[in-house]
Structure 1
Amino acid sequence: MTTRFKVCNCNRTMPLDASAGSALGAALGTQALPVASQLCRREVGAYLDTLQGSDQVVVGCTQERALFSELAEQRETTAPIRFVNIRETAGWGAQAKQALPKIAALLAAAALPDPEPVPSVDYVSNGSVLLIGPSSRVMPWAKRLSAQLDVSVLLTSGFGGEAMLERRYPTFSGQRIRIAGWLGAFTVRWQQSNPIDLELCTRCNACIAACPENAIDLSYQIDLTACTSHRDCVKACNAIGAIDFGRAASEREKAFDLIFDLCDQPLITLHQPPQGYFAPGEDVVRQAEYALQLTQLVGEFSKPKFFTYKEKLCAHSRNRKTGCNACIDVCSTAAISHDGDHIKVNAQLCAGCGACTTVCPSGALTYAYPRASDLGQRLRTLLGTYRKAGGRQPALLLHSQERGAELIVALGRLAGTGAAQGMPARVIPVDLHHVAAVGIDVWLSAIAYGASNVLVLLTDEEAPQYIDALEHQIGIAQTILSAFGYEGRHIDLLRAASALELDSELQRPRPASVPAEAAVYHVTADKRATLDFAFGHLLDHAPVRATDIPLPAGAPYGAVAVDTSACTLCMSCVGACPESALIDNPSLPQLRFIEKNCVQCGLCEKTCPESAISLRPRLLLDERATQRVVLNEAEPFHCIRCGTPFGTLQMMDNMLAKLATHGAFAGNLDRIKMCGDCRVVDMMQNKQEMSILELKR
């Protein structure tokens, strides 16, 4: 499909002119681009002319996206229209005159096709909402929301003086509240501890009149500190049965579509709570904001299924022994749980951060939207176009589509007024659903494609465990690059909570050295295959040909060391290894190892009954990585009856030493020295002999 580009210098506030249009056209492989000054005003006709036909249109402006979209609708055009911000990201700032290669790169990336669709995750909400918290906070919001939502109330405290004469909506009271689920499917459990059940109470006031201690008021809950338990209220309630002092914290359970948690402290403490759960606490501004969002969550909703899971590659557990727990530990939504020897990901709870795919050593979990291949193509396009336009030492700034994008736009607007330096000309922004979704395979591929820096922008939205995971991954990647002799710091975290902080952080990174030739391979869905491509290219062009690189603990590459004096070659480790890195020899008692397959999950170490195995994190890049190396071997033990080899001499000696004093085995040690077939024959013969002796008697 042909792409038409429309570029505007925004009333001459950006250094774009006819010569710049010619340079952009050359970099994009098209004719010279006409540069407008008021594309959204007096030159709008040029934009309308571009809409004729079915060619894709890329507009270098997001400020007037709504206007351009509306004009396209009025024209009933069939041309796909895309928008890209070149003003705040490149055209405004202290280095705007040097930003032409970046503008070309951004325009080229905007012209790429959309990622292929992926399966969706669906939600259905009928608008049933539970408000939880003290009555003084809950009841006013219940009254406001009841006109639009199906309201229920769960009161936790503060009953005194809060009148509840009308039964407008289901009202409960209780403590020890537990919430599970997601939008449209929440389950709430609590303990009904007060003697008066607000759902059964008719508000007749008979209990209030009967109570001599005035322990009951119009909140219809008993102040147990004032009550002397003479039970006059129970008699007054009579057959209604709303008052029961024998209620021993009975548990109740209800289902709701939405939760409005107005407690002082959130009942769900996850960094990323499930969709449909809102906990503004006592902040009245956030209460109003979240209440508005609640009213909009009625109907059917969907989101992409952000991950794919390949169970066969998972190194989580074997035989109920846990090896790799990285994805479970890093997940901020509690969407990942144990499922036997593998993990289970709840797609409804998954927020799409992708941190699990970043820390997964085997590639069992991969990010699906966009796929790694789509992101790889985008990076290649950005860096290739930037280089073609004459740019040097590019840096990629990976940022989130929400808070990160807001900071970049805010910085650009400050730069437009001269209040900040703005985005450096060599820094190319790359928006992601979440920065934690990209890890070592994509980072190193970006370096192989020619990026001198990969910068990850952290704002105030990342969970602490995400930051820890990113720092660990960066440590591994930087160790490898430094071992290859590439100078400088290639991958770094930038931390900013405001536009001015971002402005300062962007001035800090310095260009690092990269391969003299840009890689041409494609990022694939197979994480370790992509890393093999990256290692190969980086090594081929490295100043230092390092093929044995020690790595930090927890790295996904390495060897295993075996204490041969302790190892009995029981092969438990072979059965536990999920990646076929440890293998046996069907012909000989040998433990063999293929280092390339090892993901350092530690299952072999934890499974070994003799504690004879330890991990050695490293990256081996020569022919030894694919060879079958013998870690331990022993003299086979031969069956004393038929001579067939089975087990090892060391294992047999250990077994006989342990069983020699055991009453059940001491008299049958010779049978232990037989192979399985001979052991059965010996048992049958012994049974026959016993039968003959019985007959003779």
Structure 2
Amino acid sequence: MPLQAQALGQALGEDLTLHTTLCRREAGQFQKAVKTGETVVVACTQEKRLFSELAEQTEGAISPIRFVNIRETGGWGREAEHATPKMAALLAAARLPEAEPVATVTYKSEGRVLIIGAVDAAERAASFLADAMQVTIFAQGPGKAGGSQERRFPVVAGRLQGLKGWLGAFEVSWDASNPIDLDLCTRCNACVAACPEQAIGLDYQVDLSRCTSHRDCVKVCEAAGAIDFGRDARAQTERFDVVLDLRGDQASPTFTSHALPQGYFRWDGQDLQTLLKVRELVGEFEKPRFFAYKQKLCAHSRNEQVGCSACIDICSAEAVRSDKSRQQIVVNPNLCVGCGACTTACPTGALTYAYPRPAEQGTKIRALLSAYQAAGGRDAALLLHSQEKGQALIDELGRGAQLGVMQGVPARVMPVALWHTASVGMELWLSAVAYGARQVMVLLTDEEAPQYRAALMEQMAVAQSLLNGLGYTGVHFQLIEAKTTTALDGDLQRLCARNLKASSLPSGPAVAARHAVQAEKRSNLELVIDHLMAQSPVMAMDEASRPKALDLPAAGSPLGSITVDGSKCTLCMSCVGACPSSALQDNPLQPEIRFIEKNCVQCGLCAKTCPEDAITLQPRLSLLAERTQVRVLHGSPPYACIRCSKPFGTLKGIEAMLGRLAGHSMFQGAALERLKMCGDCRVVDMFTDENQVRIPGANTPSKSQ
């Protein structure tokens, strides 16, 4: 690698010594460093295990150790001589503290594994697992070779009715409809040979659709008594810790979600890595609880109406469900795989990604861009990728560049590894632009669910419309879909090579933002919008020339206004009661619907709740100061009681009620007039009228009087 120690040191603000064999004859320098107590950054991930073991063997080693790859990401590439600012940025970000620990989800497995599939294949898999786990086979046909005559594993059979759960808690239910009792069967094969319809296979299951009731099998099995066609189909339920499914495409999959539950595996009969993973699942396991949920911010449900269901629609593990009775969503932490797509799609921040938290992720992005700019880097681009397949592609790209068959990662592109590419959305993308990035790219491989791509595209369209509307030119956000290293290499060179014309690069704020990324999604979005507006070329125009608002795409927009049709609205205030973000408010002094636009999340609950169908959503970003202020959407004069003159409703509401009930037989004459009275006067009037009817003339003066 063309490392420039002096330039890197200047960028990082310290003197650097270049070591080229730190894991070999210069290992003593590493051991000396880990005794200082200061954070030690090792710019080599290839020998991570070696360095970790060396630190454990070093007496007095107390320094935290961070690892970062600057070789495949920068040092091995056609533009490596210009990659010093990127290397400085990667080293600076590596020094940051690790993410704060979060709550964990625990799985407990005793090693009870159920293998579903043809008997011959199931027995081969079982023989590989039996020494480490308790194996049960759910027979689904004999397979090509049939089962072993030696009964080595418990076998159950029947019609599979249900399979649900996760590692350590799978519940399997089936109907034991097979006339042959496998516990009594001796596998002598006499029934197989005796059946004239060949309805019995070597899995010892009777195909009842082919059986014509000769019952020759029953006669030859008389000694064992294993066959009984009169036996009722019994519902069976049993729990298992792990499930290995061998059925492939031959049967309907048990789990249809893109992300399979922990502990459930599909096996093609070839890849031994799957069986090795199954063998390891005995004991107690933990994973981070990847999400945090705040019900009070949730825009899912109000008044038994569903507004936002973005998290439910996008979850590839089917871990999120609706609970309208409690006006919220429920996330099953055992099914959650930590993709973070729900937190990206959530417009309110009710669901947030917890590991790492948004503020921690934002700190990393800010550190990268700040160090890159301090080292003299220009036109920074971020490449967000998954830490598994995405990282593998980048590593292959670096090796290809070192061998001279590929270009490698461009000098101004800084890869950022994420647990999952769907875990970061527009508020952090826009923050990156505010901090100085000119491009933010998201790398998709074949591991993402289809709905993730659609959601990311929607968010990119909203963010791009916002930037372009504010006068920032070019395309700032890109989805790169690459399943091969060659495809990734071509896309990066097309989008980010140094030889691109400056005029073709996206523009950004002249002054980088200094605010920290906030924990709350909406707060962070407001801060970054404020900065982008303050630096916007459009906002620099005179007030008469600049637009009052920017239209945004309807799909996925978390920003906008609403319009109220005054000819329909009766000011019943259902919309105010349904609004989860306090964007809609009433006025305690007079009938009015008031609105704060910056609070609106475009969930649609107000429109769905409105009985008059008077509300329309309007995705946009207002450029006026009133965006943060209370404004009146609709108002009406109060309606005064005709008896006591006290206001008790709105003019529009009472007139609408009178119009609808005027022709009703129950509301004629005095009854219709009472609708014009407040509640107290209505009771008094009814009581007075009732007394007049009951005692005729009681209120009429006598002649003597």
TM-score past 0.5 threshold: yes
- Check conservation: 2:180, 2:228, Cα contact below 8 A: yes
Q: Aligned match of 2:31 in 11, 27, 48?
A: 48
Partner Cα distance (2:83, 2:534) in 1: 31
Q: 1:535 maps to what in 2?
A: 529
Which of 178, 197, 200 aligns to 1:194? It is 178
| Match for residue 272 of structure 1 among 229, 239, 259 | 259
Aligned to 2:468: 482
Shift of 1:57: 1.1
1:173-221 per-position Cα deviation (integer Å, ceiling 9, x unaligned): 2335432111111112233343334356565778668866564455322
In the alignment, does 2:351 pair up with 1:351? no
Are the equivalent residues in 2 in contact too, given 1:173–1:197 (CA < 8 A)? no
Q: Mark the CA change 1:679 to 1:206 in structure 2 (over 3 Å): closer, same or farther.
A: farther
Moved more, 118-127 or 189-198: 189-198
Structure 2 match to 1:6: none
Q: How far did residue 25 of structure 1 move?
A: 1.6
Question: CA separation in 2, counterparts of 1:323 and 1:549?
Answer: 24
1:174 maps to 2:158:
yes
Matches of 2:582 and 2:225, distance apart in 1: 66
CA offset digits 1:482-501 (Å, max 9, x no partner): 11111111111112112222
Once residues 185 and 410 of structure 1 are traced to their aligned partners in structure 2, the CA distance between those partners, rounded to angstroms, is 39
Q: Retained in 2: the 8 A contact 1:15–1:91?
A: yes
Alpha-carbon distance in 2 for matches of 1:362, 1:643: 43
Which position in structure 2 is the counterpart of 1:585?
587
Q: In terms of mean alpha carbon deviation, does 391-400 or 264-273 score higher?
A: 264-273
Shift of residue 662 of structure 1?
A: 4.1
Q: How much does 1:243 deviate?
A: 4.7
1:7 matched residue in structure 2: none
Equivalent residue number for residue 378 of structure 2: 392
Cα pair 2:121 2:269 within 8 Å, conserved: no
Q: Deviations over 1:267-288 (max 9, x none)?
A: 21211111101012xx3323x2
Match of 1:371 among 343, 346, 357: 357
Counterparts of 1:210 and 1:436 in 2: how far apart (Å)? 59
Aligned amino acid, residue 533 of structure 1 = L
User: How many Å separate the matches in 1 of 2:143 and 2:681?
Assistant: 80
**CA 1:429 to 1:163, structure 2 compared with 1: closer, same or farther past 3 Å?**
closer
TM-score (normalised: structure 2):
0.90
The separation in 2 between residues aligned to 1:219 and 1:81, in whole angstroms, is 56
Report the 3-state secondary structure (helix = DSSP H, G, I; strand = E; otherwise coil) of the residue aligned with 1:35. Answer: coil
- Same amino acid, percent of matched pairs: 55
Once the two structures are superposed, residues 40-66 of structure 1 have per-residue CA deviations (whole angstroms, 9 ceiling, x without a partner) of: 223223223323332221111122222
Amino acid at match of 1:309: Y
Give the 3 Å change call, closer, same or farther, for CA 544–193 of structure 1 in structure 2: same
Distance 1:154 1:401 in 2: 36
* Partners of 1:242 and 1:628 in 2: CA distance: 80
Structure 1 equivalent of residue 500 of structure 2:
none
Query: Which residue, out of 647, 651, 673, partners 2:649?
Result: 647
Structure 1 residues 575 and 239: CA distance shift in structure 2, 3 A: farther
Call closer, same or farther: CA 1:684–1:412 in 2, change over 3 Å.
same
Q: Does 1:383 align with 2:369?
A: yes
Query: Does 1:314 pair with 2:298?
Result: yes
- Structure 2 alignment gaps of length 5 or more: 497-504, 540-546, 697-705
- Cα distance in 2 for partners of 1:169, 1:629 equals 73
Q: Which residue of 2 aligns with 1:11?
A: none
Which residue is equivalent to 1:674?
Answer: 677
The code of the aligned residue for 1:532 comes to E
| Counterpart position of 1:145 | 129
Distance in 1 (alpha carbons) for counterparts of 2:413 and 2:145: 61
Code of the residue aligned with 1:654 in structure 2: it is A
Superposition CA RMSD, Å: 2.6
Name the CA shift for 1:21/1:251 in 2 (closer, same or farther; >3 Å).
same
Give the letter aligned to residue 47 of structure 2.
E
Q: Residue 550 of structure 2 aligns with which residue?
A: 549
1:96 matches 2:80? yes
Work out the CA distance in 1 between the residues paired with 2:201 and 2:50. Answer: 59
**Residue pair 1:207, 1:237 contacting (<8 A) in 2 also:** yes
> Which TM-score applies when normalising by structure 1?
0.91
Work out whether 1:60 is the aligned partner of 2:61: no
Distance 1:557 1:217 in 2: 63
Question: Which position in structure 1 is the counterpart of 2:699?
Answer: none
Aligned partner (choices 389, 408, 412) of residue 394 of structure 2: 408
Change (3 A) 1:675 1:110: same
1:571 match: 573
Please report how far the alpha carbon of residue 403 of structure 1 lies from its aligned counterpart in structure 2 after TM superposition: 0.7
Instruction: Figure out how many residues of one structure are paired with residues of the other and give that number.
Output: 674
Contact 1:561 1:613 in 2 (8 A): yes
Q: For the Cα contact (< 8 Å) 1:187–1:254, is it kept in 2?
A: yes
Q: Which residue of 2 aligns with 1:284?
A: 269
Match of 1:334 in 2: 318
Which residue number in structure 2 is paired with residue 155 of structure 1? 139
Instruction: Give 1:142 deviation, angstroms.
Output: 2.4
The answer to whether 1:296 aligns with 2:280 is yes
Farther-moved stretch of structure 1 (239-248 vs 371-380): 239-248
Contact persistence 2:142–2:201 (CA under 8 A): no
- The offset of 1:599, in angstroms, is 0.6
Cα distance in 2, alignment partners of residues 579 and 102 from structure 1: 41
Q: 2:246, 2:269 within 8 Å by CA — same for their partners in 1?
A: no
